[in-house]
Structure 1
């Protein structure tokens, strides 16, 4: 078993800097696009053997140091009574938005073994097949709430903030229900065999530090405190959230995921003590190789200044990225850092 990723999460000495890519399973792979001609995202995730194959594909193709389970952050939401459709080119769309106290009160609870058995079965299959650690994940309450309240993707989150500011009692009830769902969902995945767990708070950068501390920090503290007992590395990631990293540094987590707006050196100079993950701008993957290599060297040199660094992109891989570029990048990261760390 290649444990370089897990060592980095624990801030232990690495023989090379481990690398994996957010959204490495899917989008950019021709084999996946062929599958999507016949099956939807939810179709694939409901077929454990097929889903395991999609998850494992980038490990075989790119030689990355960890696999991340192929699924969507909205996967558990139907179990609590919210109908969601993943529309190509749009994202999650919800026809029954949650915007009132009554709607929040109607939300149910999740029983992972009954409601998402296919997710747990996929994890069990992958643990038999993989020679690298398996990361699984969930969406954070704010990010899930943003879809549930807005009814889909948003640029400004006006309706979400309206609920938060004008009806804090309902907001905190919603956070509690989503927190309960996240804890139960995560524990079931870890029990099934997940070796690390990442929470995506993709859109929480829309909040300032003061509002994050008041409206979001309590539920995140509760989630991670509960999951801490499970004994696997915990990762938190969000985009556009440079101003929140010191709040995250106070949470009982192991790794902070950085987007391309905050470098590893800057994060550590700010006082971040957790292991770091990131942070190549994924748009750079369309640039000439010499540009990619130069920027990657900068990130790696900063990352290696202290133990506990995982190379990744600062946001997910997108369809236009050439898989040969990802393989070349992975090989470069391994070779460059093994020489430096050796």
Structure 2
């Protein structure tokens, strides 16, 4: 399968994800192909958001934009898509205007009947697989390509809330009022996520990440009850499926945003090679918790990118010192996605500082 693609020239990200000591930390940025880039905004002027996702040609072009702009500074590309393509594949309508909106969210457990009873992942999300294949070829081995999906709890919350939320009143009502039905839906979403990730790996993804963007909305108790089982189900079943189909395994990353009280659980039992952390935990403290069992990814506060070059440099230096304490791999990133108002040249400075301060002496 790999022989169908150009040979990889920069394997720093893969080595770090496997826990190997690297000459410096590899670096990529969540949402690196996005609205802060003028070249991305130009494409969006004539194409609706999900149109870009569904067009392999456009998705490839957007994925490669930051790799070309920051030539030699980024160590991975992430396929341009969205976590909400999974609810779409399950039969729900999702609009982007400008944020995500579900015209018909799930109101009661009875509404689960509206979802497609069977999801043909190749039919519904084949455009992502085609984008991955195309992007692998056009990257020409410069950097590895990351595939991804949303975590079941995060997708569950969107499907019930109908969009983003400050209180998560509707989704949490389901968890506490209908725990059995909630876990059944979370499992159903998990099964689609497994199919989707396996399909992405078979299409050429060299790493995959599971985004649990709303993990910090759950107490550690409720995270253990509702989110963690689904995350563990995905890691175990993706690996089992790949082995059964004789497809080489790839590193798996879990970014459970803000689930800092559950790092020990995730490191010990989650089944992921890499754990992403947000900026609300000190890297040295995270390293003490996980030891060398997993590679850590993160974690500068994205809003530091608005603070100017001195602030960025100080933050990167401090971050590097924290991650380099103790044993274990480190992948440099932000503690969440880059925001639309960032000056692209300030991101360039962040990347240059990572190269400088993460280097092994």
TM-score, length of structure 1 as denominator length = 0.95
After TM superposition, list the pairs within 5 Å mapping 1:304-319 onto structure 2: 304-305=324-325, 306-319=327-340
Matched with 2:67 is 59
* Pairwise CA distance, 1:163: 0.8
Matched with 2:275 is 256
Matched with 1:221 is 232
CA deviations over 1:22-71 (Å, ceiling 9, x no partner): 00001110011111111111111121111101001111112300001111
Aligned to 2:85, the other structure's residue is in SS state coil
Matched with 1:239 is 257
- Rate the CA distance shift 1:150–1:13 in 2: closer, same or farther, 3 A: same
Separation in 1 of the partners of 2:131 and 2:210? 19
Matched with 2:245 is none
After TM superposition, list the pairs within 5 Å mapping 1:59-78 onto structure 2: 59-62=67-70, 63-78=73-88
Separation in 1 of the partners of 2:233 and 2:343? 40
> Which of 102, 108, 111 lines up with 2:110 in the alignment?
102
* Pairwise CA distance, 1:213: 1.4
Matched with 2:90 is 80
* Pairwise CA distance, 1:336: 3.2
Runs of 4+ deviating beyond 6 Å: none
Q: Does the 8 Å CA contact 2:161/2:168 hold for their aligned counterparts?
A: yes
Name the count of aligned residue pairs: 338
* Pairwise CA distance, 1:97: 1.1
> Which of 12, 22, 32 lines up with 1:14 in the alignment?
22
Matched with 2:246 is none
Separation in 1 of the partners of 2:127 and 2:81? 11
Matched with 2:287 is 268
Matched with 1:46 is 54
| Consecutive unaligned residues in structure 1, runs of 5 or more | none
Separation in 2 of the partners of 1:253 and 1:337? 23
Aligned to 2:36, the other structure's residue is in SS state coil
Separation in 2 of the partners of 1:149 and 1:2? 41
Aligned to 1:152, the other structure's residue is in SS state coil
TM-score, length of structure 2 as denominator length = 0.90
> Which of 302, 324, 327 lines up with 2:322 in the alignment?
302
Separation in 1 of the partners of 2:214 and 2:284? 24
Aligned to 1:216, the other structure's residue is in SS state helix
* Pairwise CA distance, 1:128: 0.8
Matched with 1:114 is 123
Separation in 2 of the partners of 1:262 and 1:126? 34
Separation in 1 of the partners of 2:92 and 2:23? 45
